[in-house]
A and B are shown apart, each in its own frame.
Chain A
Amino acid sequence: MKNVKAAMNKDRREFIKKVLRGSIAGSLFLVLPMGSEGTIQVPEQIPGIRGKKYDMEKQRFAFIVDITRCIGCGSCCVADKREYDVPDGHYRTWVERYIKDFDDNVYVDCPNGGLDGYQKPRTDIPGKIRDTFFVPKLCNMCERPSCVQVCPVGATFRTPDGFVLVDKDYCVGCAYCIQACPYSARFLNPKTKTADKCTWCYHRVRKGLLPVCVHVCPAKARKFGDLNDPESEVSQILASPDVITVLKPEMGNHPALYYKGLRREVV
């Protein structure tokens, strides 16, 4: 009997040892890199980028915001903040709410950059409301960018495919670009102490993915694509008879961010 018990105890010990070894070995699979082939492949969102050498000169990207579609949900702002870990109080993109009364008074607000969505109507408007709409804002990716012109060290630059980017390892943090941007799209990132702004998700675009705000927009108010591709949605919108305009054209910056259905009240 004793022998049987001893044999069982020995088996138990062996069993526990094997289980422990197995779980340690198994957990290693979670820690060790698996190689990119094993991960989920997100389907291509911008056609013609994956699977070939990227030619910067061949692309001309444009961004279109459709004012008539934006519902002010703030999903774009949330996605953007998560994508870039944007510090509180600073905004790479934001959504403004415009309210117009019958006396042509314009009331604009943008609490927390529209990050929480516009869930409740404004109650402080005395007159009868004629119209209300939302205006998403982001970097205008100007063809003649003031920020690039004034940067004293060339840390902010424009790529041949039309992206205005900041090299945070070279930026001195003088904030001259922040003063120069007519659209107030820039801020000084308190973590890096360098200039920061929307990049139209260049890292995603180079992988054939749409900017994250475009991707998450439930109303399809944000559109992005290559103007050199006549089949792209942006090419077709710009070729349509819709009212298309840019912000502050008098600044002479020639933005690549277009607005469909923009009202004259929007600055």
Chain B
Amino acid sequence: MTEAAVHTGMAANIMNYVFPNDLHVHWSLMIVLYPYITGIIAGAFIVSSLYHVFKVQDLKPVSRYSLLFALAFLACATWPLLNHLGHPERNWEMLVTPNPSSAMAGFGYIYSLYAVLLIFEVLFIYRPTMVALKAQATGKMKTLYNILTFGSDDLSPRSLALDKKIIGFLAAIGIPMACILHGYVGFIFGAVKARPLWSSPLMPVIFLLSASVSGIAGVIFSYVLIQKFKGRPVDSKCVITLSKFLWGAFIICFTFEMLEVFQHSYLKTHHWDMIHGLLWGPLKTSYWKLQVGVCSLIPLFLLGILILFKVRDKAFVFFATIASALLLVQVLLMRWNVVIGGQLMSRSSRGFTTFHPEFFEKEGILPAILIMTAPLVILWLLGKIVPMWEDKGVLTSTEPTTGHK
């Protein structure tokens, strides 16, 4: 109150007033997971494209794995949305009668197109492998491989050359598609003018960059973990190259994230009072301490030291894995802080509501854990059908031609 006494003539908003309908946070954990999962898909696809399109040879060990990784998450991307909808049985309306002016209506189409592209990319890359597997398989598995290889056993050089062309084409159009998919998800938030934390042209850019970060970090983290678990050697060259891309993507991502806050703080519009109150109030721990402090600055410096200084390969892989894990959490926290944080600010511009997810509720913590576990189970199942890693024993056709360089 002493502060209020020395006012400058401007009406001060000193009491917490939240519009009655703003007390409830409508977009909760499921909508935090939705951009997180689509981000991982887009990011993992970019890893695969770095090898298939940009011929980054070091990434060969994870070129196939990253695609399966993306596919596993793609299979679950709509789950949080369907669980969130009040009437999930009406979801088809979005495809049948989309409202062209809605920023959300296009998701079904963009997602479906991307799904088709990713599935075909995987099928063509694995075709020679699956033809070989088909010859060894019996019963139901033989039928499955027969369907997945389009019933074609043709492995002639001409056929493989055509496959390679198709793979290159799909991977190439996959990059803009991945950017559209996730930039678009960012736009769904950026297009909401009623929420000052969301309505920013930077939102799609930040979402896209953080998608790359989560995808690359996800591939590094899971690759190292699976290799260690299976007792196989980790290709340190691959991890080093991935880490370089991860560091680069994160530097730009983090810069934009900070730029967004700095811009608000410098402009000092009437929104700033609320954004300041949010970031230093309800989000102080999840934003400044966890997202920025622990999960951004530590991996930023860790990766910087690893890349700029001479570090032994083993130590590099170890610390890069830790940095990747932190960055996976960073992106999840960023989604949380944007999605939940944006709704904590009441449109009364005078107060903040609270949000505490329950464990067992429909959109609670347990469903969130189940949805995040599902892609890992699907990945394991995919690994039963096709080899995740380059297997010397099985015929492969997808190596980029060295003559291209």
A residues in contact (CB < 8 Å) with B: 89-91, 94, 96, 100, 103-110, 113, 126-127, 137, 146, 148-155, 170-176, 178-188, 192-194, 251, 264-265, 267
Contact = CB atoms under 8 A, between A and B. Distances in A.
Given A104-B10, A104-B12, A187 B93 contact: no
A90 B107 CA distance: 29
Contacts of A193: 86-87
B348 interface: yes
B193 A153 contact: no
Nearest to A176: B104
Contact of A113 (B20, B98, B195): B20
B355 interface: no
Q: Lowest 10 CB-CB distances: which A-B pairs, in order?
A: A173-B86, A193-B86, A184-B19, A108-B17, A182-B194, A175-B26, A152-B105, A152-B104, A153-B93, A154-B99
Contact of B20 (A91, A146, A154, A175): A91
Contact of A178 (B11, B26, B84, B104): B26
Contacts of A107: 14-15, 17
Contacts of B195: 179
Identify whether the interface residues of B are mostly helix, strand, loop, or mixed: loop
A148 B346 CA distance: 21
A146 B93 contact: no
A90 B19 CA distance: 11
Given A106-B13, A179-B343, A194-B87, A251 B27 contact: no
Interface string B1-19: 1001101011111110101
Contacts of A265: 11
B192 interface: yes
Contacts of B5: 103
A183 B349 CA distance: 11
B24 A154 contact: no
B333 to A, nearest CB: 21
Contact of A153 (B19, B20, B26, B97): B97
A89 B194 contact: no
Interface in B3-50: 4-5, 7, 9-15, 17, 19-24, 26-27
6 contacts: A89-B23, A103-B7, A106-B12, A127-B4, A175-B84, A178-B21
A243 B31 CA distance: 42
A174 B99 contact: no
Contact of A154 (B19, B97, B192, B194): B97
B394 interface: no
B350 A267 contact: yes
A252 to B, nearest CB: 8
Contact of B14 (A105, A153, A184): A105
A172 B105 contact: no
A94 B17 CA distance: 14
